[in-house]
Structure 1
């Protein structure tokens, strides 16, 4: 290891030479966990992990000192790194734990040892590595194996795989299992919901009390995530009323629904940036969000969609299935790119104005020249397709209004 030191140049920071960097990082993480008295929440799921983690960070910051995973640091490097960085004096910590194969979550959650484990949703993400959704659910259920004694599992009561996850949690020895959602049996239950273009207003039953809140980030999927957030906050003993008040300032992250109002010479264009990731469930949520966003003047709702990766033999079928989703909305203009999106381009009806290109770079000029004032454009793809380049190109050509460079 010492032989690599010259390649670091004039770096003056203190360094510790180890034989195995990952093993050393894991030991640092374990030491940080051993000294901590924080209440810890771990989050997994096929969709909504990062959004839920960031929302938990946001609301818990209103009631205490919070440490949370940066970005999507949810793998065998990111989890121990986040754990090692955990301050000794934080009140709460939130860890995102991801996987695309079985046996990945188990060792990570045993390092984190959360008091609450949240499973947001089971959906067709990484389906190329699994035979079916039940297998995905079983892999996600590994998160229960690292729960602290007397810890709690918090599951989506509206998920068709609720019963399977409940069974897996009990098999792992979890005694406290709670549900969130609209289901009548949900512990943390949505009672009322009003969806607006740039926010939502909800009333939910949390810990025996009715909590009303304005949710600053729009979308029905965000409401579902917020139920998990409020439930998680309650389970770690946080002041839920104060946490709920903080939801008013909640904003979507870059690549996960962040909005920009772009300056077109003849009028504004609304950009919804969903470019970070995509699977069938998150595509459905993004299309619903686009459909709920009003256009101005003669503006159009435009969906710019790229490949959903890691779907394996199911890919062509799942991409083609997006046709029914699109036809069921008011979106009539669609831009597509990526080899898998060819399956969708071939099946969309004539009523949908469709442009297909092989890749993001090929689509860029077509998209830039097609936008008109009043349009609402939503960009969605798996990260590996590179649709963030399209977002950057739009922001470069039509700079965002200053107030929306943050989030409305």
Structure 2
């Protein structure tokens, strides 16, 4: 955080000092008491606080509040700024802080690929710039303040994930970050327990258009059918399309698997660039295209992206390739599961498994609410269309996809398990050196994730 004094904060929030010194320096911010982790934190709250003694090691704390406290309630080491409305004061502070920095800020959303795309952009920019970002796959709404305050005078650019758990999430993130560049990687079916319908989920993702600066840019996957349902008519900035179609601003062609990643050509403004990016699958090409478009919008050359992407390191448990039991090949994709990422993973399984026995182990898709049955049926249809030699499902809802895959014409052996207890024994019988295993689940399914770890013959990934 760029430090400011109590006197500064008093002026920003239009408050008045009730207790303490105006000269105290503020170096951190919080809007919940449990977020106060270090001294010199400004805490915005009107909640009653009775356990100040637990925070003595973190004094001085600057309390910004519209609550009336008696002097007996609060220790004298707590600086108090009294404001008329705590919410109004908080957002005055947020707006003041964000407006201090005239730097490119990228906001990324999408059903899948947002963490990878964010990390790619960060990796490319880091060659020449000081970059702030959301850490790894973290994108908690409650941490937006901390993400914003990580920006200071040394920051050249920032890249933030803006996830959708429910409608309004991206709009709220925009209040903090005010991005100059927005990216929608793709839109599948996810978080339908709160968004209710696929249309509602698409609309929630489409909030990205409303938070980008009017002079900013929106980067879209032109080949994604759900993204094409977003109404772009009111967007005032530049629309940049990435994909395989001739009309795309950044177009990929000649896509092929190469060593431990993907090799492809990028066409932009009548120039051709050859790009290699670690990580298997055509979806990785789309992630790289979005990252290239973003850094180009910041004024950096595509040649820099080409050079930097060669040393990009994939995220843990996202289509990582290992040596598995009985000298098989194991693809660990147990970070997240949606129909979008499942389709991408099955295509990687088919590409890498040519000439091998292909086994898919798939867990339950979460956060679907009343849409659970339909989405699991759609997953079963994908499995039948793409095909596997052996299908294993783990979990009660995952069984729906197994049954529907059979109904859709899958003739391969199918094994349905309520839990993972007996799966390892089955695999030990089925698997040999001519087998490739794809295991798909999410971070919340501990038993699927543990099974993936148990199936690894050694801990070092062959694709690093």
Into which bin does the TM-score normalised by the smaller protein fall? 0.7 to 0.9
RMSD of aligned Cα (Å): 2.9
Aligned to 1:305: 362
Residues 244-291 of structure 1, C-alpha deviations (whole Å, 9 max, x = no match): 2211222321122222224x4x5x332222111111111100100111
1:49-64 matches, within 5 Å, as 49-64=114-129
Aligned to 1:70: 135
Unmatched 5+ residue regions in structure 2? 1-32, 34-48, 66-85
Aligned to 2:61: 16
Q: Higher relative contact order at CA 8 Å, sep ≥6: structure 1 or structure 2? A: 1
Contact 1:56 1:233 in 2 (8 A): yes
Aligned to 2:336: 277
Contact 1:306 1:338 in 2 (8 A): yes
Contact 2:188 2:226 in 1 (8 A): no
Aligned partner of residue 288 in structure 1, secondary structure: helix
1:233 aligns with 2:295: yes
2:181 to 110, 116, 119: 116
1:375 aligns with 2:432: no
Distance change in 2, residues 1:110/1:365 (3 Å): farther
1:145 aligns with 2:210: yes
Contact 2:104 2:298 in 1 (8 A): yes
1:302-381 matches, within 5 Å, as 302-329=359-386, 331-349=388-406, 351-361=411-421, 363=423, 366-367=426-427, 371-381=431-441
1:46 to 98, 111, 126: 111
Most deviating of 219-228 and 350-359: 350-359
1:244 aligns with 2:289: no
More helix by share: 1
Contact 2:214 2:237 in 1 (8 A): no
Distance change in 2, residues 1:340/1:108 (3 Å): same
Distance change in 2, residues 1:331/1:314 (3 Å): same
Residues 322-364 of structure 1, C-alpha deviations (whole Å, 9 max, x = no match): 3343334452122211121111232444732222221345645
Contact 1:303 1:378 in 2 (8 A): yes
**Using the alignment, how far apart are the partners of 1:15 and 1:52 within structure 2?**
39
**Using the alignment, how far apart are the partners of 2:377 and 2:226 within structure 1?**
24
Contact 1:278 1:382 in 2 (8 A): yes
Distance change in 2, residues 1:14/1:271 (3 Å): farther
Contact 1:302 1:332 in 2 (8 A): yes
1:98 aligns with 2:158: no
Contact 1:272 1:378 in 2 (8 A): yes
Aligned to 1:388: 449
**Using the alignment, how far apart are the partners of 2:345 and 2:99 within structure 1?**
40
The number of residue pairs the alignment matches comes to 392
Aligned partner of residue 200 in structure 1, secondary structure: strand
Residues 28-74 of structure 1, C-alpha deviations (whole Å, 9 max, x = no match): 76565333333111101122111111111122222322221113332
**Using the alignment, how far apart are the partners of 1:379 and 1:231 within structure 2?**
32
Distance change in 2, residues 1:14/1:25 (3 Å): farther
Distance change in 2, residues 1:219/1:53 (3 Å): same
Distance change in 2, residues 1:244/1:345 (3 Å): same
